[in-house]
Amino acid sequence: MTAVLTEASSSKLNLLGLTHEKMIQFLETLGEKSFRAAQIMKWIHLGGVDNFQDMSNISKSLRDKLTEVAEIGVPEVTYKEFSKDGTRKWVLKLDQDNSIETVFIPTDGRGTLCVSSQVGCVLDCSFCSTGKQGFRRNLTAAEIVAQVWVANKSFGARENRGDHAITNIVMMGMGEPLLNFDNVVDAMHIMKDDVGYGISKRRLTLSTSGIVPEIDRLGDVIDVSLAVSLHAPNDELRNQLVPVNKKYPLAQLLAACNRYLDRYESARRRITMEYVMIDGVNDKPEHAQQLAKLLKQVPSKINLIPFNPFPGSNYRRSSEERVLWFQNYLYKQGYTTTVRSTRGDDIDAACGQLVGKVDDLTKRNQRWREKLVLTQIQNDSNDQSLS
């Protein structure tokens, strides 16, 4: 039975969010040897265990001690749906007022989990529904890791997972990860760790709108892949789309990208530049030309993201023809350019669009019920939280 986080249980230390180093420190305070840390982490993250009594290679006395002072606290999953195309989505209830969404999207032999770092976002990019909600709060490291724990567990025992495993994790859900720095870094250490989720640095990506000093700090403490939400090839347009550009304009941002690459040159050769394609706004031939010129400064690959419309937004998605033209142009200029698949649209779950639509769950709940092929959590308390 999953230990659901409640205010009453929050006095216990939640081991889900402890890095290997912190787990060792914690066990030392209990007078335990450091090798126990790896054993416990394997049970939690690889084994999907949330009850200390299930940890069979741990002594009964330590299991009892852990039960007394600690917990493996996973937020309640108030909704889950598995779409026909393999996309999976979870809504996790963090507390009375806040929920988040996590999405798994499979693509040719890969399984990418899109993880949230904050409830809402303070940065207010003009095309982003998370930004339109305003900022609610940072997620704890445990709440970030819980998203991976829940997704991982949904695939069952490791030997039965086949192709359906999480191979990649992107910090591209709700929120700006670099504005929740310490918790995100701890969570990413756990995602990378062999006794955590074992995701390699090339397959673990942090996406940022471009908080320049924090990009430098990130390079100091962890080696992961970096994606930058560029979205515009000049400062004037970027100021409109990504307002934080007024504080950290393109020249500063691109210089920070180069510094980041220089630190771990052998491991990470390019920055992924994300570029949302908005009809008539940033998708004209002149924008493609400017972009190709601008990115000569930084080793880059480009990911074009067709804009995902949401209620209240006046933007429209660029036509498929225009997206392909853009891709072809950048390709000819020597850039690896991918177009993000819009799979997941069928459950409102395109990555990067994880929204506080959870506030409007009743209506969506009905829609989902009509469309789904999948599993739904059915118990009274969940029904209450959805109505």
Point out which residues bind ligand SF4 (CB under 6 A).
Answer: 121, 123-125, 128, 130-131, 175-176, 209, 229
Q: How far is the CB of 170 from ligand SF4 (least distance, A)?
A: 12
Q: How far is the CB of 297 from ligand SAH (least distance, A)?
A: 19
Q: How far is the CB of 204 from ligand SF4 (least distance, A)?
A: 18
Per CB under 6 A, which of residues 187..216 are in contact with ligand SAH?
207-209
Q: Residue 298 CB: number of other CB atoms within 10 A?
A: 19
Q: How far is the CB of 288 from ligand SF4 (least distance, A)?
A: 21
Nearest to 228 by CA among 204, 256, 202: 256
* Tokens coding 358: 């959870």
Q: Using the minimum distance from each CB to ligand SF4, give the nearer residue, 112 or 209.
A: 209
Identity (one letter) of the amino acid at 106? P
* Tokens coding 183: 């918790």
Question: What is the 8-class DSSP label of residue 319?
Answer: P
| H or E element in which residue 367 lies | helix 361-371
HSE at residue 139, side-chain half, CA atoms within 13 A, is 37
Based on the shown chain and the rule CB under 6 A, indicate whether residue 102 belongs to the binding site for ligand SAH: no
C-alpha span between 161 and 11 (Å, rounded): 35
Per CB under 6 A, which of residues 157..176 are in contact with ligand SAH?
172, 176
> Among ligand SAH, ligand SF4, none, what does residue 172 contact (CB within 5–8 Å per kind)?
ligand SAH
* Tokens coding 332: 């000819």
Based on the shown chain and the rule CB under 6 A, indicate whether residue 305 belongs to the binding site for ligand SAH: yes
* Tokens coding 289: 């030309």
351 is catalytic: yes
Cβ 349 vs Cβ 101: under 8 Å? yes
Q: How many residues bind ligand SAH (CB under 6 A)?
A: 17
> Among ligand SAH, ligand SF4, none, what does residue 124 contact (CB within 5–8 Å per kind)?
ligand SF4
Based on the shown chain and the rule CB under 6 A, indicate whether residue 128 belongs to the binding site for ligand SAH: yes
Residue whose structure tokens are 């991976």: 148
Q: How far is the CB of 317 from ligand SF4 (least distance, A)?
A: 16
- 71, 101, 176, 214: the catalytic one is 101
Residues 6+ apart with CB under 8 A from 24: 34, 37
Residues engaged in binding ligand SAH (CB under 6 A): 127-129, 172, 176, 207-209, 229, 274, 276, 305, 307-308, 310, 352-353
Active site residues: 101, 351
